[in-house]
Structure 1
Amino acid sequence: MSLKINDPFCFTAGDSPLLVSMPHCGTQLLPGMEETLTDAAKKLPDTDWYMPELYGFLRSLNVSIISAHYSRFVVDLNRPVDDKPLYTTKTTGLFPDILFADAPVFLEGKGLSEATKEQIKAQIWHPYHQQIASELERIKARFGYAILFDAHSIAAQVPMLFEGTLPDFNFGNNGGLSCAEALLNNAAEIVSQSPYTHVCNGRFKGGYITRHFGQPEQHVHALQLELSQATYLADFANTEGQPNDYVLDSDKQQRVGAVLQKIIASLLAADDLA
């Protein structure tokens, strides 16, 4: 029996050279899916929390925006559809069955069926990527080039993925292959003049979206930012009594948002890309 899948993403077309993608901000699950998840997974801990809020300024800049509705536990839109590994170290795949905490996503024997996975690919993964492709094509036709900014966030400490504490801003352009170096360098320079730490092409070099769509020789540039959630979420000690552990800290949001705005402005101001 086929599942009902509604509106896999939200898309807003702008009138600038920039498209911002938010593939991991979704929290929607498939009908009946919540009851198949472990208690830990029900909290959706690996979500890129509050991406639309952090980048709320984009609409005033007339930037194109695409954001996922469904949780990455339904499908990870930043993985290739054939699920080939992007990293040599341990990570999660197209249909995650483990959390970043290295614990199960699903109750035993309750994972997604193969038929469901095929439907998800057809009705969520492909439409999201087709929308990115068509919008980049439209932007390039309009401006002579296009820039894709893939916006992510992650907990500051994820032992399964990396040792220690992650820098605040983690930029990736696939080791220099997915965008003009000036775009990355300008973004990194902005952060270097702020109180935040940063790294370029460290643990996160860019996922499938960045690697696939970033084709500088075709005048399409892609850059990923993995932002530490410590820069904008309230400390757990300050979330007592809240409905979940992922609470937006308005003061932190304002501070980091000012840096994000400067980064986006630098992308919009880029030249010599056509």
Structure 2
Amino acid sequence: MTVVVERGEGPVVLAFPHTGTDLPDDVRDRLNDTGRVLADTDWHVDRLYAGLLPGATTVRATFHRYVIDANRDPAGSSLYPGRNTTALVPTTDFDGRPIWRPGAEPDAAEIERRRAGFHAPYHAALAAEIERVRARHGVCVLYDCHSIRSTIPFLFDGLLPDFNVGTDGGRTADPALVSAVMAKVAAADCYAHVLDGRFRGGWTTRWYGRPEAGVHAIQMELAQRTHLAAEAPPFAYDAARAGRLRVHLAAVLTALETTAHRLAAGAAR
């Protein structure tokens, strides 16, 4: 099973493209010791959001991003031209270190096989849920759930803010929804935040975010220091840190749901 869907009746869809850790045997056998650590997983993010918004639909990829990255353009185009990033099927980890055994890097035919077998089914399921929710409510808010280590010199300078909200410069969501999110993260004491900073929304956010069609997409990239005991193996969940964070994430999701209903009511008039 490449994707797990839990349907809700509300206007918000939560997507989890990077929490999966499943590796087919043929993929695992090709990874080197660095790759097998799976360091670039969005560790415990599905657990972090569990139960925060009753009625939300969740769509979760079960496969690891080293199989294929469900938040990358299937055509292979870079999300951030001119900057270090990882590819549709990564060749390195976030520190720029090779993850495949010498000579075992996936070729074009293997990448296409993975696109058809993993990337496409995940997005077919996600697109179906977005359309179901939009048809029911007249509006759908796709909230793409991510996390990343707080310090990764290969990808960005300095310390990443706690909340990194991405809307591709306001293109992917109605301003009312963006304002609702930013108001809640700004009110979160002792947490730093940024809008459309280093992470301004991945392929999922940019592909599905069509406010004019009633589909709004927002990416939330959380610094992992907000909910992990340490940003290193075994990447353990810190219940106390996560508990403090969950209060603010619940406020963000509730504000999105409330604003979505408001937008739908306005469009119906």
TM-score bracket relative to the smaller structure: over 0.9
Unaligned runs of 5+ in 2: none
Pairs aligned (count): 261
Q: Is 1:261 aligned with 2:250?
A: yes
Equivalent residue runs for 1:140-179 within 5 Å: 140-179=134-173
Structure 1 runs not aligned, ≥5 long: 1-6
* Structure 1 residue runs of 4 or more that deviate by more than 4 Å after TM superposition: none
Find the partner of 2:108 among 103, 114, 121: 114
TM-score by length of 2: 0.94
Match of 1:192 among 186, 197, 200: 186
| Residue 251 (str. 1) matches residue 236 (str. 2) | no
1:113 CA displacement? 3.8
How many Å apart are 1:30 and its aligned residue?
1.5
Partner of 2:219: 224
Partner of 2:13: 19
The offset of 1:38, in angstroms, is 1.9
Deviates more, 1:226-235 or 1:118-127: 118-127
Partner of 1:272: 263
| Equivalences for residues 37-56 of structure 1 within 5 A | 37-56=31-50
What RMSD in Å do the two structures reach over aligned CA positions? Answer: 1.3
Task: Report if aligned partners of 2:173, 2:211 keep a CA contact under 8 Å in 1.
Answer: yes
Residue 112 of structure 1: how far off its partner (Å): 2.1
Q: One-letter code of the match for 1:224?
A: Q
What's the CA shift for 1:118? 1.9
Letter in 1 for 2:251: K
- Displacement after TM superposition at 1:44 (Å): 0.2
**CA apart distance, 1:100:** 0.4
Q: Tell me, what secondary structure is at the counterpart of 2:216?
A: strand
Q: 1:134: how far off?
A: 1.3
For 1:119 and 1:38, the matched residues in 2 are separated by: 21
Does the aligned pair in 1 maintain the 2:15–2:142 contact within 8 Å? yes
Quick one: which amino acid aligns to residue 223 of structure 2?
S
State, as a whole percentage, how many aligned pairs show the same letter.
Answer: 36
Deviation at 1:119, TM superposition (A): 2.0
Give, in whole Å, the separation in 1 of the partners of 2:263 and 2:230.
42
Q: How far did residue 33 of structure 1 move? A: 2.3
Q: Secondary structure at the match of 1:57?
A: coil
The CA distance in 2 between the partners of 1:196 and 1:185, in whole Å, is 17
Q: Indicate the residue corresponding to 2:198 in structure 1.
A: 203
Displacement after TM superposition at 1:191 (Å): 1.4
Deviation at 1:105, TM superposition (A): 0.9
Specify which of 61, 68, 82 is matched with residue 54 of structure 2: 61
- TM norm structure 1: 0.92
1:183-206 Cα shifts (integer Å, max 9, x gaps): 112111111111211000000010
User: 1:133-188, CA deviations, whole angstroms, 9 ceiling, x for partnerless residues?
Assistant: 11111111111111100000000001111000000000010100000112112111
* SS across alignment from 2:263: coil
Residue 31 of structure 1 is matched in structure 2 by: 25
What residue in structure 1 maps to residue 90 of structure 2?
96
